[in-house]
A and B are shown apart, each in its own frame.
Chain A
Amino acid sequence: MRRKTFTGGGVHPPEYKELTEHLALEAMPIPEQLAVPLSQCLGRPAKPLVKKGSEVKTGTLIAEADGYISVAVHSPVTGRVTGIGREHSGNGSLQDVVLIQPSESQERDYLPPIEPESASAGELIERIRQAGIVGQGGAAFPTYVKISPPRDKKIDSLVINACECEPYLTRDYRLMLDRTFDLISGVRILMKILGLRKSSIGIEDNKPEAIRKLRETAGTDGDLEIIPLKTKYPQGGEKMLLKAVLDREVPQGKLPMDVGAVVQNTGTAVAVHDAVVNGEPAIKAVLTVSGRGIRKPRNLVVPVGTAIRDVIRFCGGIHETAARILVGGPMMGTAQHSARTPVVKATSGILVLTKEEISWGRETACLKCGRCVSACALNLMPTRLARLSRLGRFEEAGKLNITTCMECGTCAYECPAHIPLVQWIRLGKQAVLRMQRNRN
């Protein structure tokens, strides 16, 4: 049978998943100090409810959501607040953090568990909001917003994103194997919220073990369809996934709900289960620590607010050959200039890469080979967009849909001239968005 996938474009970078795919999830011990960021989603930072000296338990609300696109933050440990500080976030900007010193004894202050069968959709959404869950797919959008679409948007499909198409990352894979039951429970809760009888899990065919286990656990009710997809990057992009699974194309500037679909990540579904059934707020990040620069690659469950330095230390430290530390995957992740960066709810990986793995060469002139054009999953013309950005011709770049770009990195990965296409396009995108804002 021909596997489903999105049409046109895409690449298949080396997976490097063999470094960690066989390693079950482990809980990392509580570090000596935590710096819990107040900014956990792409919206506004939360407003702190604690101050220096406050005693908190594991799960105590320490900051409340500030507005609609903002999420609550809970203490990942039991201990004492030592102040509000500033730390760099994964993207390099400075942000407020709640500094917490863990104490010897750990106590839980969870939300009351909810029986998903008897609860109403409203109660379940409220719980997901209270628990401060954010999307685990990368963009870190508040989950409760995504599952409560406006009334005029009729949702007929829920697609669970189990692609994990970024190389190295295996935390979704491990969640599928190690927490299969909870994952499926979480998916069923999401179905109940959306009033759906059926949903699909889109999973790339490089994970046959997970496909088998999910099918086995989902049972024969037929409410959950596991759909194997041909392995191709960037299939984990929402738009690509919907094209692959439902053959629906999200129009430019629109969202999945505009084509009647909601996409949720594997990790998000597990977090939903934890919040509803166990009353556990989003206080842990499930992440893969990998790369040839790390001594002991692992799949970890880490308290939010742990410095990546502590995670690296727990994984045996780094090799002499380490050249770059990333938060996220190698295609879209961000290089870190400091190992103090705290882990956030949406952190999916910490990678320590060596020079050999990065393998970037010297830039030459564009040879117009067209590889970036045929590789672009969104049918853009990366070489043209990058050139227009470089020349400052943002008006033209805007006309060529530069803002559609999702910065997946496929073009730059393919470019034999080693032109930093994504960097130029990102610059152009920002300029175009600025122009559009000024016009309005």
Chain B
Amino acid sequence: MTSETNQTPTTQNRLQLTTSPHLHNNWTTPRAMWAVSAALAPSTAAALLFFGWSQIGILLTSILCAAATEALIQKLRKQPVTIGDGSVVLTGWLLALTLPPDFSLVSAGIGAIAAVGVGKHVFGGLGYNIFNPALVGRAFLQAAFPVAMTTWRSPNFADAVTSATPLGALKFDAAASALFPMFAGNTGGCLGETSALAVLASGVFLIVIGIVNWRIPASMTLGVLVFGTLIWLMNPQAHPSPVYHLLGGGFMLGALFMATDWVSSPVTSRGMWIFGLGISLIVVVIRVFGGLPEGMMYAILIMNAFVPMIDRFTRPRVFGAVA
């Protein structure tokens, strides 16, 4: 304390001087990142349940390689190492959940290195990346190992021995899968995406605690319902129904965990609606008309590129603005 305040009857503390506000809601970057990571637990559990314990190797490889890459880059750049803030763990974890079961560990590690190196640190690290880092890593793997990235295994409790994802089966074999297994997760697909139920539960949790903005999943769902229905009505036998779109592939994981990534999504409310509707339009178009059965990853990455522009053109009307 200063000499003057020593005259107060108590304490020898030093007074802190900062500007207002003096209260904070207690959210911190690490806390938010770890909360999202924790919210991945149900999907991870579903992945292990449907595809076996051995899948944990993919998760650990991806997370460890992601963290090591970040630490190495930060050491080289003489920056403080921030692997404790949870964001790099989250990137590695999310990447692992978008990989097929029994994926090669070496490839998973390469994907994680690409995710953190190219997806995050090339742009300047946390807060500066334009694209979702986990999806950058996945896109890299899709380009580098196209066969491995589309080689599926049937889940543990499947009645029929099928090695296709529901979207793939519909597209290439005109065989629609039953909706309930798609909801529960007992179908072919990437580790974390098959159980719509698990992703949905976590997503609702993240919305309730205020980390995920509801506008992005809501606009994506609305968009898929609208665009998906329009196209489905043109030929209901050949095209996926809107519900099939919602439950199939990586829609849920993308809508609740990937598109909602703070850094690579818009900050304005209107921007979030445009962003979500854009993703849903692109994903429906890719799934129905594209060469691939699934297009969630590209839909999000494409819209990521538009985010700075969306933010610019959706600035809210300032209170009291004179038109």
Contacts and interface: CB of A to CB of B under 8 A. Distances in A.
Interface of A: 8, 11, 13-14, 167, 239, 243, 249-252, 254, 309, 312-313, 317-326, 328, 330-340, 351, 353, 357-362, 364-370, 373-374, 377-381, 383, 400-401, 404, 407, 409-410, 412-418, 420, 422-423, 426
A252 B319 CA distance: 7
Given A370-B267, A412-B21, A252 B318 contact: yes
A374 B127 contact: no
A409 B21 contact: yes
Interface stretch (B10-18, B93-101, B159-167): B10-18
Contacts of A239: 319-320
A404 B2 CA distance: 36
Contact of B16 (A251, A309, A324, A383): A324
B139 to A, nearest CB: 21
B29 A379 contact: no
Interface string B5-42: 10111110101111111111111110110000000000
Given A404-B318, A418-B24, A370 B18 contact: no
A368 B8 contact: no
B268 interface: yes
Contact of B23 (A328, A331, A415, A418): A331
Contacts, number: 196
Given A250-B320, A309-B7, A318-B8, A413 B16 contact: no
A381 B82 CA distance: 27
B278 interface: no
A331 B318 CA distance: 22
B22 to A, nearest CB: 4
Contact of A331 (B22, B125, B267, B268): B22
A379 B319 contact: yes
Nearest to B213: A370
Given A250-B320, A416-B27, A420-B19, A367 B10 contact: no
A422 B19 contact: yes
10 contacts: A322-B11, A331-B22, A358-B22, A364-B85, A368-B262, A369-B262, A370-B266, A383-B267, A413-B25, A416-B29
A239 B18 CA distance: 26
A13 B23 contact: yes
B128 interface: yes
A364 B29 contact: yes
Contacts of A11: 25
B8 A313 contact: yes
A252 B10 contact: no
B127 A378 contact: no
Contact of A337 (B2, B22, B23): B2
